[in-house]
Structure 1
């Protein structure tokens, strides 16, 4: 039997080792070798150490010191810096010293959502079967060679602090295989416009609803609409609120970002959601901005693609109009400042495919939005035609549009399609659509006295209506019941 003295000695050694282990300076996974630091913003650096331990952070001529609090947490903020292609080292000192190498300064974006955002570059072979538009001019999966584009793949089970400080990689070779294709092509196109280092963080989970991406406590709200009606608490919809927020988003806070990219909604559309999704989406956007302490952070999202939701066999009564209603719910987020969207109704080969393969074009369109809205390159057209207003002229409806670019046109030179109009009876009929400058004149023999119009109001709608920059028009209905109530 061990003597009491031996037991006491063993216990003392264990406690000393344990104390030393936990007094080591540690960093969150997102802070590591090869990372990109956001330019022209304060740069938070944070971690844990022993309570009361003095910490110093040195980078690019700056030196910041602090003391870990009673729980061992510490943080400093580096002053804003200009973009730099010069690899630099960051030195963090406490009882131990950490040296992070090969750090660049540039633009950092977080892309999140479900499977279409997660859709990895390893599926590149599917791009070869694309029948619309053009494939990328290069085989990026095998030939990408730009060390100034860096990627961080947020894996929910691997976000604990790592003593190797690995996670960021150059967007080439093996690391690129599993990375978001939308995220990579966004970065590639944005790089060509800005000529600064680009850092992309991908945090996406296939099949995920929106609820797991929202902090659970933020879901405990009962939204009040403008007409005074109060909706039930959002959390009553289930969906594991906070599940992915806790494991994938929270570990990133407050890593400095330029903005967010979001591509999600299919899982909620299967539930026939509309206005309730709009409030969840609003909650997500506002809560993430609040987490990063910046109410103006750009938030750009992808309108989900045409798909045959009406063929789904479950207890819900799906119709061909459920998807357009969901599009409408997504568009309500545009009431929030610094939000924008891209439309992809033209990037579908089959409405039986929930995962269309044109990810390079989706990434490019998101970069057009970022270039125009976030970086002030106003000469870049970033949207197709957007409904502005309507008026009745004789026996027709005149629709005026925003974002007409170089002018309204037909993609294939044929008559514009997927326009319908209705009279007071609410019965919609296919309409003849004639372009007149920045307007469309709609008429139908069956509707001599029209009062409302719709465009692309069907899950299968892949209209030929575009601006001359080739960007598709945004589906709409002039009898939108939610727009003034959100």
Structure 2
């Protein structure tokens, strides 16, 4: 087990009503009395990180001793199959097509016992005999653990040099609604122009299903932050602004559950995929970009952020693309910069900041430029389009000029708006010199000023 450093640490349980309870750990002794329902809890004072395995003793009418406890950083990772995607599926790495160097086979070579993992399984599944609680991230316990979660921890460890604890709670194919407490989802979101959307209550009867069995039992285990990789199932349902409100509800409700309104919440923009080829769903090639846009609206909440992975796909007909180790690494870069103040760490590719019409072109300014804007293959930047006031977008020429890109097209003499990567198959060569991909955008975003 790993306990969170530098924060008060919740320890809780059940006992006979009015039973006296004492908790002893790392020189601290906390006492309490179980309430009339038999519930009890204490909070340990903030602690410094520690690699020394220590015991926690919990005494009531009986005694429980928890062993091999470290103190460091603890993160929860959740979502659907791309977060759940287990290390056993990566037991034999294929050659990385795009040049991203695959890691060594950690199932056979991992030996860092200071990374600890806890696999939160669905209650209707049989638990793995090799993984019934906290384990070191080595050998058999690592087999069923999240690839993204493990490589997040592995990279973060090299940056922080403290024990890392990861809790994985993810379910393949799950929509966002089952991860939200039912009473929190039944809301009527309002836009700034006064328009009210229909209630967000899910119509499939699964609202709160995984929250009740996988998230609620973890509360109030003290965390540093949360990682979220989910959305494909909701994207198939043609969701955009409604998903933005659902994600906002999930973030705010989970933070409230943990009584930490500033807890970091980082998520992954889902990967390019051929959604429009679905035979039973009338989806367009712009459904995915609109969903990316909806995901990004969650950035209106403080201490949230996201990473783009548009370059980590070898086949747009594979809903579970490879390079999961790189997804974990990028989340670690994000956490290092934003959660731990390592501002020298470049964590994102170029991100749209503003545009300016200059004669017959549009000048686009970017943040997160790192050490400079670049083309991955040295060829002209791809997947830029431009339109006049008529809204008819055409492919455009895009040239790098400092931290700006100048976009133009001969058939658009009076440009009005610009888009980048606005297609479900878009995998542009536009990056920063650190190799991180530019984030898709449209300057004519209809939701940015309305969402609240």
How would you bin the TM-score normalised by the shorter chain? over 0.9
Partner SS state of residue 127, structure 1? coil
Structure label with greater radius of gyration = 1
**Conserved in 2, the CA contact under 8 Å of 1:127 and 1:135?**
no
**Conserved in 1, the CA contact under 8 Å of 2:177 and 2:202?**
no
Query: Map of 1:45-194 to 2, 5 A cutoff?
Result: 45-125=11-91, 127-157=93-123, 166-194=132-160
State the match for 2:407 in structure 1: 442
Partner SS state of residue 445, structure 1? coil
Does 2:440 correspond to 1:483?
no
**Conserved in 2, the CA contact under 8 Å of 1:209 and 1:239?**
no
Quick one: distance in 1 between partners of 2:390 and 2:214? 50
Does 2:344 correspond to 1:379?
yes
What's the offset of the Cα at 1:357?
1.1
Per-residue CA distance 1:234-260 (angstroms, 9 max, x = gap): 004436110000000000000000000
State the match for 1:254 in structure 2: 220
Per-residue CA distance 1:56-78 (angstroms, 9 max, x = gap): 00000000111111111111111
Does 2:396 correspond to 1:431?
yes
Per-residue CA distance 1:77-113 (angstroms, 9 max, x = gap): 1100000000000000011100000000000000000
Quick one: distance in 2 between partners of 1:250 and 1:426? 47
State the match for 1:233 in structure 2: 199
Query: Map of 1:309-458 to 2, 5 A cutoff?
Result: 309-314=275-280, 316-458=281-423
The structure in which a higher percent of residues are helix is 1
State the match for 2:261 in structure 1: 295
Cα 1:126–1:419, aligned 2, differ >3 Å: closer, same or farther?
Answer: farther
Does 2:238 correspond to 1:272?
yes
What's the offset of the Cα at 1:449?
1.0
Per-residue CA distance 1:375-423 (angstroms, 9 max, x = gap): 0000001111110111111101110111111011100100100000011
What's the offset of the Cα at 1:166?
4.6
Which residue of 437, 444, 450 corresponds with 1:472? Answer: 437
What's the offset of the Cα at 1:367?
0.1
Partner SS state of residue 172, structure 1? coil
What's the offset of the Cα at 1:127?
3.3
Quick one: distance in 1 between partners of 2:62 and 2:79? 37
Per-residue CA distance 1:4-50 (angstroms, 9 max, x = gap): xxxxxxxxxxxxxxxxxxxxxxxxxxxxxxx1000010011100000
Does 2:162 correspond to 1:199?
no
**Conserved in 2, the CA contact under 8 Å of 1:211 and 1:238?**
no
Does 2:5 correspond to 1:36?
no
Partner SS state of residue 364, structure 2? strand
Quick one: distance in 1 between partners of 2:87 and 2:99? 19
Unaligned runs of 5+ in 1: 1-34
> TM-score by structure 2 length?
0.97
**Conserved in 2, the CA contact under 8 Å of 1:127 and 1:358?**
no
What's the offset of the Cα at 1:158?
7.3
- Paired residues in the alignment total 449
Quick one: distance in 1 between partners of 2:310 and 2:431? 11
**Conserved in 2, the CA contact under 8 Å of 1:186 and 1:367?**
yes
Partner SS state of residue 340, structure 1? strand
**Conserved in 2, the CA contact under 8 Å of 1:109 and 1:259?**
yes
**Conserved in 1, the CA contact under 8 Å of 2:24 and 2:56?**
yes
**4+ long deviations beyond 4 Å:** none
Quick one: distance in 1 between partners of 2:437 and 2:402? 17
State the match for 1:27 in structure 2: none
Quick one: distance in 2 between partners of 1:403 and 1:388? 9
What's the offset of the Cα at 1:445?
1.1
- Segment drifting more, 340-349 vs 238-247: 238-247
RMSD: 1.6
Partner SS state of residue 233, structure 1? coil
> TM-score by structure 1 length?
0.91
What's the offset of the Cα at 1:133?
2.5
Per-residue CA distance 1:294-323 (angstroms, 9 max, x = gap): 100000000000000000011x32100000
**Conserved in 2, the CA contact under 8 Å of 1:307 and 1:352?**
yes
Quick one: distance in 1 between partners of 2:378 and 2:102? 25
**Conserved in 2, the CA contact under 8 Å of 1:127 and 1:357?**
no
